[in-house]
């Protein structure tokens, strides 16, 4: 009986997490400003972790599998938080943002792009763990492609 209760609580928690990913509309200018700040902070964390990996791919930094593994793990974790910050619709308020209105009306596509971003981060981690420096270029290319795809569609 205990396993049934644990399973039921797990399903309920999964439902709550799924609901948290649904697009929401900011209810006040203060909430809209906070949403923009959190989005921008998230992107700064992505940049600070992806930057060194892009530098390694370009040969500007020495190849370091441990840095790749650590930073890719962080990007996976950030991907898990992205929907919570990206899908807060701030268009009803006069807030300074580079997010295009399309970001808030294409939830399924945004979720797909987040999934691709996380998959790319996982690919980098796998490449780092394999010790095969040659596999890294393709993996980092997938990450760059996932970033570009979202920027092309949803960033001004």
> What's the CA gap between 139 and 47, in Å, rounded?
16
pTM for the predicted model, two decimal places: 0.83
DSSP label of 88: E
Annotated ligand binding at 132? The verdict is no
- pLDDT (0 to 100) of residue 135: 87
Distances (CA, A) of 20 to 7, 101, 124, 141, 147: 20, 20, 28, 30, 23
- pLDDT (0 to 100) of residue 144: 96
Per-residue pLDDT of 85-131, as tens digits, reads 999 999 999 999 999 999 999 999 999 999 999 999 999 999 999 98
Cβ-contact 80, 21 below 8 angstroms = no
Annotated ligand binding at 150? The verdict is yes
Per-residue pLDDT of 8-65, as tens digits, reads 333 333 333 333 456 799 999 999 999 999 999 999 999 999 999 999 999 999 989 9
Q: Is 29 helix (H, G, I), strand (E, B) or coil?
A: helix
Residues contacting 112, CB < 8 A, separation 6+: none
The residue ranges of every structural domain in the chain are: 24-154
Annotated ligand binding at 151? The verdict is yes
- Which residue from 108, 73, 66, 118 is spatially nearest to 87, judged by alpha carbons? 108
Domain 24-154 CATH class label: mainly alpha
């Amino acid at each position: 009986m205990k396993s049934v209760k644990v399973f039921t609580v797990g399903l309920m928690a999964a439902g709550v997490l799924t609901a948290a990913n649904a697009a929401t509309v900011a209810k006040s200018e203060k909430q809209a400003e906070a949403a923009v700040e959190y989005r921008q902070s998230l992107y700064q964390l992505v940049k600070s972790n992806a930057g060194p990996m892009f530098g390694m791919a370009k040969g500007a930094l020495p190849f370091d599998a441990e840095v790749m593994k650590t930073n890719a793990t962080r990007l996976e974790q950030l991907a898990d938080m992205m929907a919570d910050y990206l899908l807060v619709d701030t268009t009803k308020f006069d807030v300074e943002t580079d997010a295009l209105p399309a970001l808030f009306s294409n939830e399924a596509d945004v979720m797909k792009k987040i999934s691709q971003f996380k998959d790319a981060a996982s690919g980098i981690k796998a490449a780092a763990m394999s010790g095969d420096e040659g596999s890294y270029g393709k993996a980092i290319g997938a990450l760059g492609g996932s970033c570009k795809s979202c920027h092309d569609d949803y960033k001004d």
